[in-house]
Homo-oligomer: A and B are copies of this chain.
Amino acid sequence: MSSQASHPEAGPVPPPKWQRRKEERPSEILAAAAETFVEHGYAATKLDEVARRAGVTKGTLYIYFEGKEALFKAVVRENIVPLLLSAEQSLGDEGAPADQLLRDLMYNWWRGMNAAHLGGIPKLVMSESANFPELAQIWFDEVVVRGRELFGQVLRRGIARGTFRPVDVDLAVRVFLAPVLMAAIWKHSMVACEKDGFPVEDYLRISLDILLRGLQVPAAAGTEKRDA
């Protein structure tokens, strides 16, 4: 009775070589799922493809996630906090000039998003917003609203310090948020259509160039100004 094949504890614990993967599995699956959902959208994504990209089989997905919808929601939810964090960490030295802060915010956020493969989430959420409104709401509250606050703080400070001319901050933040969102969406949709690629960093640079100039206070001497 002792020397049976099915004796789990018969010998010393076998080296859990593959077990190490157990902990990584969920995040590997999430990453594969994120890619696939971003590429094809929720309904067009086949779990077979997700599984293949994650290097497992379909059945395994169900060990870690309740189903397709749960997986989708996890993809979005797991990426919301990082997306915001990435933004918040993009702020440079808070003592720096407001225009510099805005530059940092936009540039670094973009770079952070890309480094962490977070860029597809905005496109995904917008594409599926009608099918998953509560998810869209979460994303909106966590990322958009707080992104707006972030930009708003900088704008307000800049205005207070005289770096920027006074503008309706609530609206202006949308103007500054747009290029980053646009870049993220574009990179995950139309970029294949551009013959020469889309020079995102150049696009952000010139956006900032124009936008920041547009916020400059009119030349004090009263000679220059148009709006009044």
- Residues of A whose CB lies within 8 Å of any CB of B are 39-44, 123, 125-131, 133, 136-137, 140-141, 144, 167-168, 171-172, 174-175, 178-179, 181-182, 185, 189-190, 192-194, 199, 202-203, 206-207, 209-216, 219, 222-224, 226-227
Copies in the complex: 4
Chain B CB count within 10 A is highest, among A42, A167, A178, A227, for A178
Indicate if the CB atoms of B144 and A190 lie closer than 8 Å.
Answer: yes
8 contacts between A and B (CB under 8 A): A129-B189, A144-B190, A212-B214, A213-B216, A213-B227, A214-B215, A219-B224, A224-B224
The residue that A189 contacts in the complex, of B127, B207, B216, with Cβ under 8 A, is B127
Q: Pick from B136, B179, B214, B226: contact of A178, CB below 8 A.
A: B179
Query: Chain B's nearest CB lies how many Å from the CB of A194?
Result: 7
Q: Which 7 residue pairs spanning A and B have beta carbons closest together?
A: A214-B214, A43-B43, A210-B214, A140-B193, A127-B127, A126-B189, A219-B224
